[in-house]
């Protein structure tokens, strides 16, 4: 079964993807994480993607689709797609790429959350560069200040998690990614994510998938 996590930046896609991977054996495909890995390794893709990411814009489809295609050559089932597709063109491309591997995208989990919560969450986010888990500077602090609970790596603030960039990212999401809600209406599972703990949301996701 392949699943897409759909939702605004800061809606909890990464956290829920991590739960699905560690508790239900899925594998995580986060295009944002793949881009950040390419940036830190200074690959050609990384150098190319950096300018778009720092501006809160989408990396052009050609580069993004190619990166996903390469990933799917090794693995095309039991995946959690996180941050891809992010526009209709990518969604059409993904259906084709999966069909070429005799697979499909089975369900789309849409984490529905009020815009007002997102900015506060993103600008207070700390991430572990090793395991990619995220924390909140005030509400979900690590046990030891600035250190990941799971692997003791010093936590970081993402370059694009600053206020000037966040508004552009939300605008990009509203203009380009939100239309996917309608595109995927037949496989969509909408999860109300307001005022709920990550564990409650996870339970709702499992119920909606019947797993």
Q: How many CB atoms lie within 10 A of CB 203?
A: 13
Q: Is 86 a catalytic residue?
A: yes
Q: What backbone phi and psi angles, to 5 degrees, belong to 180?
A: -70, -20
Q: First-to-last CA distance in the chain?
A: 11
Is residue 13 a known part of a binding site?
yes
Q: What is the DSSP letter of 197?
A: -
Q: What backbone phi and psi angles, to 5 degrees, belong to 56?
A: 80, 20
Sign of CA dihedral 99, 53, 173, 79: positive
Toward ligand ADP, which CB reaches closer, 83 or 142?
Answer: 83
Q: Is 169 a catalytic residue?
A: yes
Token pair belonging to 115: 């815009």
- The single residue among 64, 134, 193, 204 that binds ligand ADP, judged by CB under 6 A, is 64
Residue nearest to ligand ADP (CB): 32
Given 121, 125, 132, 133, the catalytic residue: 125
In the stretch 5-44, what mask flags binding to ligand ADP with x, by CB under 6 A? ----x---------------------xx--x---------
Toward ligand ADP, which CB reaches closer, 33 or 77?
Answer: 33
Does the footprint of ligand ADP cover residue 52 (CB under 6 A)?
yes
Is residue 130 a known part of a binding site?
no
Closest CA to 185 of 118, 108, 125, 70: 108
Given 27, 140, 158, 189, the catalytic residue: 158
CA distance 159 to 122: 11
Is residue 146 a known part of a binding site?
no
Does the footprint of ligand ADP cover residue 133 (CB under 6 A)?
no
Q: Are 127 and 160 in contact (CB under 8 A)?
A: no
Closest CA to 169 of 121, 137, 130, 127: 121
Q: Is 187 a catalytic residue?
A: no
Does the footprint of ligand ADP cover residue 86 (CB under 6 A)?
yes
Toward ligand ADP, which CB reaches closer, 131 or 144?
Answer: 131
Contact residues for ligand ADP (CB under 6 A)?
9, 31-32, 35, 52-53, 56-59, 64, 83-84, 86, 90, 160, 169
Q: Which residues does the annotation mark as catalytic?
A: 13, 86, 125, 158, 169
């Amino acid at each position: 079964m392949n699943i897409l996590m759909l939702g605004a930046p800061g809606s909890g896609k990464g956290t829920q993807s991590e739960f699905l991977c560690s508790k239900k054996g899925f594998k995580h495909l986060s295009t944002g994480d793949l881009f950040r890995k390419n940036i830190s390794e200074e690959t050609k893709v990384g150098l190319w993607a950096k300018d778009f990411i720092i501006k809160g814009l989408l990396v052009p489809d050609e580069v993004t689709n190619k990166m996903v295609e390469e990933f799917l050559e090794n693995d095309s089932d039991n995946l959690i797609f996180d941050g891809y597709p992010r526009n209709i063109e990518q969604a059409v491309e993904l259906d084709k790429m999966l069909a070429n591997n005799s697979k499909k995208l089975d369900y789309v989990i849409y984490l529905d959350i009020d815009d007002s919560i997102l900015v506060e969450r993103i600008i207070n986010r700390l991430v572990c560069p090793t395991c990619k888990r995220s924390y909140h500077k005030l509400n979900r602090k690590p046990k030891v200040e600035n250190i990941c609970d799971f692997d003791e790596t010093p936590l970081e603030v993402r370059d694009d998690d600053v206020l000037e960039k966040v508004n552009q990212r939300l605008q990009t999401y509203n203009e380009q990614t939100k239309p996917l809600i309608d595109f995927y209406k037949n496989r969509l599972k909408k999860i109300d994510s307001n005022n709920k703990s990550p564990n409650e949301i996870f339970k709702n996701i499992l119920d909606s998938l019947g797993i």
